[in-house]
Amino acid sequence: VKAAVLRAPGQLCVEEVPKPQARPGEVLVNVKASAICGTDVGVYKGNEPARLPIIQGHESTGEVVETGEGVTSLKPGDRVVLASIIFCRQCSYCQSGKTNLCPNGGLLGREVNGSFADYVAVPDYNAIKMPDSISYEDGTHLVALSTVYVAQEKITITPGQSVAVIGQGTTGLMHSRLAVLSGAMPVYAVDITGWKLKIAEQYGAIPVNATQTNPVEHIKEVTDGEGVDLAIEAAGSAVTLRQAMEVVKPGGTVLCFGILRPSIDDFNGYAIYFKELKLIGSRSVTHRGFQLGIRLLENGKLNGDPLITHRFPLDQVKSALDLVAQKPGEVLRAIVNH
């Protein structure tokens, strides 16, 4: 059977590997579709520590083909989305439902073998049943959508509140859509790429093109100089975090969703004091996020079609990773069909 094995940074090869087996408590999944996300690119480029060699991939859907000893929750033929993180179910975080913070956990395709493969064996709790109405391709959105849910559950969006979402990549667009669905108005969607802003508009947000206007000044101007109640940083740079802190009104909340890698040496925290800002962080996925995401897709409240911009066969997963790494302005979801 085939799998995309990363042996060293940049050295990814689709090769023949032994077919994995479902050990006790595990299910074997025939992978149908996978999405490529920034974390996969980070592992591929060596920017993110990983256990090599490893089979990459963590945002996938598929069909259960075999169940290991003791598995009762799933049976062959079940359509599932893979919850991308493993966790221990023993520690205080896991026991309080914060499985995303488990210190004994790991990510598929980074610490344990992932899903850019014909087959992957995962613990039964990692395979979440999906209704027939959600296609395998659309189901891959659930991993990203779960991260967005986990983040928005940490804040309160009251109908009529104003929101700015800085960055309209896949998760930024999902943040815009969820804010609209929660009754926020207006929701300003900020990005530098016109066609992504068109999707934000379809999702009910007001596009703000940061190449044509200073987004902070513009949003302040159209909110009578006040700024917004809530700013969501979804681009992961120091510049956009600064914009989020500037565009939010005193007493407001900044949801720090984007992953900030570089240190911010000239960081000025004065606004946190002066404006009494609340800065909220959020990481990874929980099962609850998947359940809510499934409900959203099932009811057609999020149209995932515009998010899929590219499709590749498993053999060409390297080209897909290179595309996402090199041309982020041209791609949202690159889907690998197995």
Q: Using CB under 5 A as the criterion, which residues of the chain lie in contact with Zn ion when the complex forms? A: 37, 39, 59, 87-88, 91, 94, 102
Residue closer to Zn ion, measured from CB, 164 or 256: 256
SS3 31: strand
- Residue identified by tokens 């099932």 is 298
Structure token pair of residue 238: 């120091």
Contact (Cβ atoms closer than 8 angstroms) between residue 190 and residue 166: yes
CA–CA dist 131, 80 (Å, integer): 8
Query: Is the Cβ–Cβ distance between 84 and 108 less than 8 Å?
Result: yes
Query: In this complex, which beta carbon is closest to Zn ion, that of residue 102 or of residue 307?
Result: 102
Compute the least distance from the CB of residue 143 to Zn ion, in Å.
6
Minimum separation from the CB atom of position 85 to Zn ion (A) = 10
Min CB(226)–Zn ion separation in Å: 35
Nearer to Zn ion, 91 or 185 (CB): 91
**Coil, helix or strand at residue 200:** helix
The minimum distance between CB 93 and Zn ion, in angstroms, equals: 5
Closest to Zn ion by CB, 275 vs 287, is: 287
Residue 109 Ramachandran class (φ > 0 left, ψ -120 to 50 alpha, else beta): left
DSSP bridge partners of 11: 8
Edge to edge, the sheet with strand 54-55 lists 11-16, 2-8, 54-55
Residue 321 CB, shortest distance to Zn ion, in Å, is 13
Is the Cβ of residue 91 or residue 238 nearer to Zn ion in the bound state?
A: 91
- Least distance in angstroms from the C-beta of 88 to Zn ion: 4
Q: Which is closer to Zn ion, CB of 88 or CB of 271? A: 88
Mapping DSSP to helix (H, G, I), strand (E, B) and coil, where does residue 185 land? coil
162 vs 249: CA distance, rounded Å: 10
Nearest distance, CB of residue 213 and Zn ion, angstroms: 31
Q: Are 2 and 18 in contact (CB under 8 A)?
A: no
Q: Which is nearer to Zn ion, 180 or 285 (CB)?
A: 285
* 3 state DSSP class of 75: coil
> Mapping DSSP to helix (H, G, I), strand (E, B) and coil, where does residue 66 land?
strand
